[in-house]
Structure 1
Amino acid sequence: MKYQKFFIPSGEAGVRLEVVAAKPQHDGPYPTIIFNHGSTGRGQSKALYSRTICPAVIGNYFVERGWMALFPQRRGRGKSEGIYGEGLAPDGSGYSCNVDIAIAGFERAVEDVDSVVRYLREQPDVDQDQLAIGGVSRGGILAIAYAGMRPNTFRGAVNFNGGWLGRGCPSHETVNPLIFERGAPSGISTLWLHGSHDQYYRIGHCRGNFERFLSAGGQGKFVTAPMGHALMFKPALWRDHLDQYLSDITMSPNS
């Protein structure tokens, strides 16, 4: 497997986004997934902002199945340029529980995914008919919502332990279902993988998000595993579910 790091333009003038790509050894074009990172915990440690997130467990999984995995770093994260502005409180205390600030932070993340999709559309080694989106934590809810906000873009969307605000904010009961609901118009089947002991999002809350998504017209499967927020790092708990899902979305002519 080859890892390549490069920069692409963002929608903000003069600001570039860092992207890490995990590629199969054979020549493309490859089915491709955009995999989105999460938050930085409470948002209080600026040292965490500069860490490039490209989990090998995800890169290895997709490359072994012939997929290319892209790990974009949103503005102000990793080595991406610009300011990290995904819902931080004005007083520097970390992520804000204010609904409007949180939603504005989500919208900023959407702009960065738009930049990645624009880039992908121009790449000859990307199979344009086999695009998927995924992510973990904030990246998981971003993946589901984005697929519905930009229908006819992806064949699949995969959510690991997704949510925008954790249960430390009472407003997470408002913000998370509101954002997940935006994914309903995607018209594609989605896969939700949640740890039953997640320390940020109670499993009942996650099921409620899924039900809200379904009631708005979304489609998908909800899987629970005996794990916490680090479920992504235990592929034995989700590999078979994701294998089946990829098989379904690859073979289905209506996806």
Structure 2
Amino acid sequence: MDKDDKKGNAIYRESVFLKKRIVLLVLIVLICIQGIVFAAALETELVKIPLTVENKTFQLDAKIYKPVGEGPFPLLVINHGTPRLAEDRAKTNASVGYKNQCETFANLGFTVVFVVRRGFGSSEGEYVENKVYADGTRNYTKSGLEAAKDISATVEYMKTKQYVDSKRIVLLGQSTGGHSVIAAGALHIDGVIGIVNFAGGRGSYAPDLVRDEKNLINSMAHYGKTSRVPTIWLYSVNDHYFGPSLAQAMVNVYVGNGGQARFISLPTSGIDGHSSFVHARDNWYSHVVNFLSEIGAIKESL
């Protein structure tokens, strides 16, 4: 092979390599553009949701995330937890609360609403999730039902939106929010077809310590007596708020009293798996999507 042939082959190889790089770069750009468009294809709105309790009306802060279009879209109501320190309750913010998770579900085709309950953030009303029995022990049953009033009011408000499918409503909550949606499931709210409970419970005051633990278990038994909505319970094996044995005890009495539940033990997540809903999407995403598909909330499954 003479020098001209070698030079020609080198130029050809370089040309092919350059073309491949150009094609790869174009594909990367297209993927990025598609991702940006997809992420941007959501509409958001900050709203005030009225809640009337004992002839008093309170305004709850909330943020709506919805796909672009007229719908109707299924509705997902997302509920927050409770910090151990009372002074931190004021930090709950509708604008940014669970923002990534809200967008994740909106991108699945849901209208999502994140609501701030009474006693948190800038929502009106005193903190009411601190009920006690006559003996001074925690009445978690009543506390959960108080929170369920806020959830029910949110559902009824969202039903007035023409873009919401009022027959496909799912409630989701994390920590005390998970306990709250299980409580709401006992109220037979029209249109609710499923409940997602992430690490639900109340009364954790230090790692692996729960105040009046028996009362917490009994609250789940109470809710199970009247709930007939399919639920999924997701708890990490290293949850230091509500550990595996307590989580199992709660779901057992819930089912034993008539409730429908699928229990998912999630793998270890960080130092404390209690926050896996926020920090470990890969651990729970497929379980939740498949559940939502099975109950008819969405068509997608994994």
What pairs with 1:190-205 in structure 2 (closer than 5 Å)?
A: 190-205=231-246
Paired residues of 1:141 and 1:164 also in contact (CA < 8 A):
yes
Contact 1:40 1:49 in 2 (8 A): no
Q: Partner of 1:68 in structure 2?
A: 111
8 Å contact from structure 2 (residues 74, 297) kept in 1: no
CA offsets, 1:127-158, max 9 Å, x none? 01111111000111111221122255311100
Counterpart residue number, 2:197: 159
How many residues matched? 242
For structure 2, list consecutive stretches of 5 or more residues without a partner in the other structure.
1-41
Per-residue deviation, residues 176-206 of structure 1 (Å, max 9, x unmatched): 4423541453323211111111111111110
1:214 to 251, 255, 258: 255
Name the SS for the 1:133 alignment partner: strand
Matches within 5 A, 1:11-160: 11-12=52-53, 13-43=56-86, 45=87, 47-53=88-94, 54-87=97-130, 98-100=137-139, 102-150=140-188, 152-160=190-198
Q: Is the Cα–Cα contact under 8 Å of residues 171 and 195 in structure 2 kept in the other structure?
A: yes
User: Do the aligned residues in 1 keep the contact of 2:221 with 2:257 (CA within 8 Å)?
Assistant: no
The letter for the 1-side match of 2:124 is E
Superposed CA RMSD in Å reads: 2.2
8 Å CA contact 2:60–2:117 kept in 1: the answer is yes
In the superposition, the TM-score normalised over structure 1's length comes to 0.86
The alignment status of 1:229 with 2:274, answered yes or no, reads yes
Aligned partners of 1:30 and 1:67 also within 8 Å: yes
Give the letter aligned to residue 46 of structure 2: K
Per residue, is there more helix in 1 or in 2? 2
Residue identity opposite 1:218 in structure 2:
G
For 1:222 and 1:187, the matched residues in 2 are separated by: 16
Change (3 A) 1:39 1:218: same
Gapped runs of 5+ residues in structure 1? 90-96
Superposed CA deviations along residues 44-83 of structure 1, whole A, max 9, x for unmatched, are x2x4324215202321221111001111111121221121
Relative to 1, partners in 2 of residues 1:196 and 1:71: Cα closer, same or farther, differing over 3 Å?
A: same
Contact kept in structure 2, 1:31 and 1:67, CA below 8 Å: yes
Considering Cα pairs closer than 8 Å and 6+ residues apart, tell me whether 1 or 2 has the greater RCO: 1
Given that 2:141 and 2:216 are in contact with CA atoms closer than 8 Å, whether structure 1 keeps it comes out as yes
Question: Larger deviation: 70-79 or 110-119?
Answer: 110-119
How much does 1:118 deviate?
2.2
Residues 141 and 180, structure 1, Cα contact 8 Å, conserved in 2: no
TM-score, normalised by the number of residues in structure 2: 0.74
| 8 Å CA contact retained: 1:145, 1:184 | no
Select the residue among 287, 293, 301 that pairs with 1:241.
Answer: 287
Cα distance in 1 for partners of 2:60, 2:189 equals: 23
Distance of 1:144 and 1:108 partners within structure 2 = 12
Q: Write the distance in 2 (CA, Å) between the matches of 1:34 and 1:225.
A: 22
Whether the 8 Å CA contact 2:61–2:122 is kept in 1: the answer is yes
CA 1:15–1:38 in 2, change beyond 3 Å: closer, same or farther? same
